[in-house]
Chains A and B, each alone.
Chain A
Amino acid sequence: MDKHVIEAYERGWMYFSLLMILVFLVFIGYTLSGYAFYVPDAARRIDPTTVRTGGFPQPHVEEVAPGKYQAYVIGQAFTWLPSEMHFKVGDEVTFFVTSPDVQHGFYVHGTNINVQVIPGEVAKVKTKFKKPGEYLIICNEYCGIGHQNMIGRIVVEE
């Protein structure tokens, strides 16, 4: 094949690659501006040694407005506190999650809630449960010998 033909193809492929990447970036920008409320944010920094002694609220769920909840969650080796939470379909929940010991992963199975739980950070992430059922909270960051057993539950009722 003629060298100039190949070089033309090569240039074409390069432009195509750049265009493809641009299209992907446009999609990412669109999701960010539109509905990616599940992107975690930091509520504040925290001294991890104070998490269990008053620096962070006792693990609990509270209703701040009708249908709006705030959940204060502690991930610790090897459990989630509270270990079970109950919501209704359509509830809007803001989770505040932190760790008193090592890193954990706050992954709510079947949703896009997937947050790194880092000692020193209070992570904040929002979701709206659309379907009823039982959702597992799976720790997806290695945290020690019992990591595989660090499973919590969220029950969403009709």
Chain B
Amino acid sequence: MATLARKDAYADFPVKKVSLYFITLGFIALSIGTLFGPFQALNYANLNLYPWLQKILPFVKSYYQGLTLHGVLNAIVFTQLFAQGALLYLQSKEMKMLPQMGVAWAAWWLAFVGLVLAAIPLLLDDATVLYTFYPPLKGHPLFYIGAALIIVSSLVSVYLSVELWHRWKKQNPNKPTPLVSYMSVATWMMWGVAAIGLVIEAVVLLIPWSLGLLKGVDPLLSRTLFWWTGHPIVYFWLLPAYVVWYGILPKRTGGKLISDPLARLVFLAFLIFSSPVGFHHQFADPGIDPFWKLVHTVLTMMVAVPSLVTAFTIAASLELGARAAGGRGMLGWIKKLNWKDPIVLASTLGAIAFIAGGAGGIVNASFTLDYVVHNTTWIPGHFHLPVATAVTLTHMGLAAVLIPHLTGKPLVGLRYFRAGVVLWFTGMMLMAIGMHTMGLLGVPRRAWISNIAPNLEGIYSSSAIWMVLNGIAGTILLIAATPIFYVLFATLLQGRRLAPEERPELEFTEAISGPEGRRSVMVMDRLYFWWATALVIVLVVYMPTLIRIWSTFVSAPGYRLW
């Protein structure tokens, strides 16, 4: 075991360092955001621990402030930073080329400054507007400015990925883009189209309004712009996990992808169909024509297809690996998966949760069915499966390999990490059962029900059993988070580094049917064309509604009601 001088650690491939900074900042945000989760679960167990929490963390004023921190840090900040770090590194590694390093660091600093600026009003209870920040609830300007900087940072990452791909194509004419890079570029291009709505909302409406330059904002217009980004953002969270499932997971358990072109088709479908779907979050909104709601419903259903294909393909490639390792029987092969590997364990459990999450998602997207569950606890019960389980576990699993791979520091306490992952999965599944059922029983989401007025006590008593389940799940999750964050941060903070030849390698999955000589692959490789197509479709399905609302702009003054 040799110890290398600190400054040399990343000299062989400097993108390692900037990726590590993104990922580490992401996990710092996640560890803070996660802390509030169990208190929210206990709120839905009718236990109000906020007065007690306030004694330890005096800045926490309410459930709603904790919920805002939880949503912003976990769902928006962590997911984005992890994608920025992991995808940049994986694409650079596969292409064996460096991205524009100065620009990459600028992206990190933008995100860091944005996070600090947004954190100030969040921690001071001056932006308790939840992570959807629907106006006319009005937060402190720093919150919107910080959030905008974080989004701008993500757009710089779009540039970095596309520019790197563009350069690679110039140097490798007539060659298909390597698979993981193709997935990375398609993801970032998708996000480039998706982010437009939020950018307009923040820059044209919310920032000038919060600074007092604009007297009022149109709440429906803001909602519509928000959900332009707000649904595809879910795919922006999810696709980096898909990159791991396709590009890395099978390799780590001896499996192979069946078809490289099909994997490309899945990502191409996400590039085209992810964005024109936002109205399925607005089925309950007056002021949007049911015709356009139906159009978005059809397109949302279309996005389910690449996920269904993914479920098949990933399961098949895992089975191939397990059978090659001697697995037998209809389901007996599952025992032969390489469960000791953190990526295999965390990603596979995450993918299992995603099956349930996807099924629930189809319910939410089913126009006339959505009214049964809209804004009930069904909704957070639902998205904790794809986001807090599938995506977060996959990212944690990847981090357990990627951090040692990038830094050369050996992973500390793999056993604790694995135990944490299994507990996290268990806790999330139990919580999902509890929250889905409570939602069907009519309990509203985002409500401080453990602090309800005395005359209203007992109105949710039909959910009592499921509330107990929530309390148990929240406690399990608190226990689960401890070893996971301990292992990741202890690994990062240790002084020990392995010699270069001892460092864990990170290899990409091979495919049985490769991309070579396929006409379809070359057509799919024309990513600028598909990017433009995606933009045109989203404009077609949004412009009639946006123009109509904007032309009758309603000016609603802001309120601070927390």
Measured CB to CB, the residues of A under 8 A from B are 1, 3, 6-7, 9-10, 13-14, 17-18, 20-21, 24-25, 27-28, 31-32, 36, 38-43, 45-49, 77, 101-103, 105, 107, 109-110, 112-116, 118-124, 136, 138-149, 151
Give chain B residues whose Cβ lies under 8 Å from the Cβ of A103.
134, 136-137, 219
Tell me whether A112 and B371 are in contact in the complex, defined as CB-CB below 8 angstroms, given that A10-B259, A119-B556, A148-B452 are known contacts: yes
Give chain B residues whose Cβ lies under 8 Å from the Cβ of A17.
304-305, 308-309
Interface string of B433-462 (1 = CB under 8 A from A): 000000000101111110111001001000
29 sample A-B contacts, Cβ–Cβ < 8 Å, listed by A number: A1-B320, A10-B309, A10-B313, A14-B305, A24-B362, A28-B366, A28-B369, A32-B367, A32-B368, A48-B557, A103-B134, A105-B444, A107-B374, A107-B444, A109-B442, A112-B372, A119-B136, A120-B556, A139-B444, A140-B375, A140-B376, A142-B446, A146-B561, A147-B447, A148-B451, A148-B453, A149-B452, A149-B456, A151-B456
A7–B259 CB distance below 8 A: yes
B442–A107 CB distance below 8 A: yes
Given A9-B312, A21-B304, A120-B556, 11 extra CB contacts under 8 A: A20-B308, A25-B301, A28-B368, A28-B369, A31-B369, A32-B367, A47-B555, A103-B219, A113-B371, A118-B220, A121-B219
A3–B512 CB distance below 8 A: yes
Q: In angstroms, how far is the closest chain A Cβ from the Cβ of B50? A: 12
Within 8 A of A (CB), among B512-530: 512-513
B305–A18 CB distance below 8 A: yes
Q: In angstroms, how far is the closest chain A Cβ from the Cβ of B368? A: 4
Measured CB to CB, the residues of B under 8 A from A are 62, 64, 130, 134, 136-137, 218-220, 223, 258-259, 262, 282-288, 290, 294, 297-298, 301-302, 304-305, 308-309, 312-313, 316, 320, 323, 362, 366-369, 371-372, 374-376, 442, 444-449, 451-453, 456, 459, 512-513, 552, 554-557, 559, 561-562
A138 to B438, CA, bound (A): 14
Give chain B residues whose Cβ lies under 8 Å from the Cβ of A6.
258, 316, 320
Q: In angstroms, how far is the closest chain B Cβ from the Cβ of A154? A: 14
Give chain B residues whose Cβ lies under 8 Å from the Cβ of A7.
258-259, 513
The 8 Å CB contact of A110, one of B442, B445, B559, is B442
Q: In angstroms, how far is the closest chain B Cβ from the Cβ of A20? A: 8
Give chain B residues whose Cβ lies under 8 Å from the Cβ of A31.
367-369
A28 to B453, CA, bound (A): 39
Q: In angstroms, how far is the closest chain A Cβ from the Cβ of B557? A: 7
B136–A114 CB distance below 8 A: no
B316–A101 CB distance below 8 A: no
B286–A41 CB distance below 8 A: yes
Q: Which of B134, B259, B301, B368 has the most CB of A within 10 A?
A: B368
A141 to B446, CA, bound (A): 7
The 8 Å CB contact of B286, one of A42, A136, A141, is A42
The 8 Å CB contact of B294, one of A3, A21, A32, A123, is A32
B453–A136 CB distance below 8 A: no
Please name the residue on chain A nearest to B256 by beta carbon: A3
Give chain A residues whose Cβ lies under 8 Å from the Cβ of B312.
9-10, 13-14
A116–B445 CB distance below 8 A: no
Give chain A residues whose Cβ lies under 8 Å from the Cβ of B136.
48, 101-103, 119
Please name the residue on chain A nearest to B317 by beta carbon: A6
Give chain A residues whose Cβ lies under 8 Å from the Cβ of B302.
21
Give chain A residues whose Cβ lies under 8 Å from the Cβ of B134.
102-103, 141-142
B554–A141 CB distance below 8 A: no
A36–B368 CB distance below 8 A: yes
Please name the residue on chain B nearest to A106 by beta carbon: B284
Give chain A residues whose Cβ lies under 8 Å from the Cβ of B62.
145
A46 to B555, CA, bound (A): 10
Please name the residue on chain B nearest to A123 by beta carbon: B286
Give chain A residues whose Cβ lies under 8 Å from the Cβ of B218.
120
Give chain A residues whose Cβ lies under 8 Å from the Cβ of B561.
77, 101-102, 143-146
B513–A118 CB distance below 8 A: no
Q: Which of B218, B294, B323, B556 has the most CB of A within 10 A?
A: B556
A138–B371 CB distance below 8 A: no
Q: In angstroms, how far is the closest chain A Cβ from the Cβ of B33? A: 17
Q: In angstroms, how far is the closest chain B Cβ from the Cβ of A52? A: 13
Q: In angstroms, how far is the closest chain A Cβ from the Cβ of B276? A: 16
A144–B368 CB distance below 8 A: no
A121–B309 CB distance below 8 A: no
Give chain B residues whose Cβ lies under 8 Å from the Cβ of A107.
374-376, 442, 444
A144–B459 CB distance below 8 A: no
Q: In angstroms, how far is the closest chain B Cβ from the Cβ of A136? A: 6
B366–A46 CB distance below 8 A: no
Please name the residue on chain B nearest to A16 by beta carbon: B308
Q: In angstroms, how far is the closest chain A Cβ from the Cβ of B458? A: 12
